[in-house]
Amino acid sequence: MKTLKKISLISITYFLCLSIFANHHEEPYKLEVIAEDLSFPWGIAFISNEEILITEKTGELRLISQGVLLPDPISGVPESLFKGQGGLEGIVLHPNFENNQYIYLSFSEADKSNKKLNTLRVIRGKLEGTSLTGVETIFRASPSRKTANHYGAKMVFLKDGTLLITSGDGFNYREEAQKLDNHFGKIIIVNEYGTIPQDNPFTETPGAKPEIWSYGHRNLQGIVTNSDGSVVYEHEHGPRGGDELNIIEKGKNYGWPAITYGIDYSGALISPFKEKEGMEQPAKYWVPSIAPSGMTHYDGDLFPDWKGSLFISALVPGDVRRLDIKDGMIVSEEILFNKIGRIRNIVTAPDGSLFMVTDSNKGKLYRVTPNN
């Protein structure tokens, strides 16, 4: 009996110690809510550490100044089509924004000649105070589609000043991703004014859209470069499984739907092939799907151990994947920030902190800083 009491006391002491340790264990970071009640926030762009632009998929461009969400949206933003997966989505600042104040927005819009159709449009305008002026179209995807899904709508500037735009496969148009006469399932490249660079890979290909930079994509939801701009990373949703992270090179075919690691939502095969000659393999793929939704290449100084990592926000189950990259290879994957819901996007602020938005009609903007 004394022995049993002794064992019980030892067990209780052991579990109490474990409990105390767990309660005192602290993450190396802390989360702070900067803004809330955002209506399906999607894109994030930093004017400075104190001024942040947020796109709301419902159609409004919001400004956060000195940690306060201004009550009125930016005026002059073109009307977008808020339907299905469409709305006001991507945002990027011109590389010389400090001097020219140009911002670029991507969104779905109704086809003016046929209201049953819609497409992806990219515009630029000058941000003057809280107004967008001088709006001009940079790109409009062709042909229009009936569906309100898979727009892509992410953008990034390359170091030569050209702009990459992701254009999704429209969900019901997946076979078009392998054809060069349309913009479905493509990465587009244009100059800052929307003109076509002379060295685009398909300018001399008969029947090809000259803006195409790469093809064979599905629903492209993230595109970034590494710190020196020498590598372009892109991620896209697979169907059931088969989400991909790709390293993009101009003129290359990334396979969809001829090759895939996923299956159809019905359970049917989309393709029996996972690889084919002349088609690129992903740097990483996920089965089951994580629904990657945003991405940033971390080059800040606040988190030295994370320098050089890719951070990929995920809608399912709602977390961020940190991919540690060494010598161009992904060596590990860490799951972070998995208690705040569906995460729509993640970006790096000028001061090296991370910012995330949650996918909700009561969306929040979070800031991540070191816990010290």
**DSSP secondary structure string for all residues of 6-20:** HHHHHHHHHHHHHHH
- Whether the predicted pLDDT of 7 surpasses 60: no
Residue 305 confidence (pLDDT): 96
Residue 19 confidence (pLDDT): 41
What pLDDT, in 10s, does the model give residues 26-68?
A: 789 999 999 999 999 999 999 999 999 999 999 999 999 999 9
Q: Which domains does the chain have, with CATH numbers?
A: 28-370 (2.120.10.30)
Residue 20 banded pLDDT, cuts 50, 70, 90: very low
C-alpha distances in angstroms, 190 versus 32, 84, 164, 286?
A: 37, 27, 7, 31
Residue 257 confidence (pLDDT): 98
- Contact between 363 and 356 under an 8 Å Cβ cutoff? The reply is no
- Dihedral class, residue 219 (left if φ above 0, else alpha if ψ from -120 to 50, else beta): beta
Which stretches within the chain are classed as H helix?
Answer: 2-24, 97-100
Residue 10 banded pLDDT, cuts 50, 70, 90: very low
- Whether the predicted pLDDT of 1 surpasses 90: no
Residue 328 confidence (pLDDT): 87
What pLDDT, in 10s, does the model give residues 63-77?
A: 999 999 999 999 999
Non-local CB neighbours of 219 within 8 Å, separated by 6+ positions: 149, 150, 152, 168, 169, 171, 236, 237
What pLDDT, in 10s, does the model give residues 217-267?
A: 999 999 999 999 999 999 999 999 999 999 999 999 999 999 999 999 999
Residues that are catalytic:
150
- Contact between 58 and 77 under an 8 Å Cβ cutoff? The reply is no
**DSSP annotation string for 29-69:** EEEEEEEEEESSEEEEEESSSSEEEEEETTTEEEEEETTEE
Q: Identify the three-state secondary structure at position 177.
A: helix
Residue 18 confidence (pLDDT): 39
What pLDDT, in 10s, does the model give residues 242-251?
A: 999 999 999 9
Q: What is the percentage of the chain residues whose pLDDT exceeds 90?
A: 91
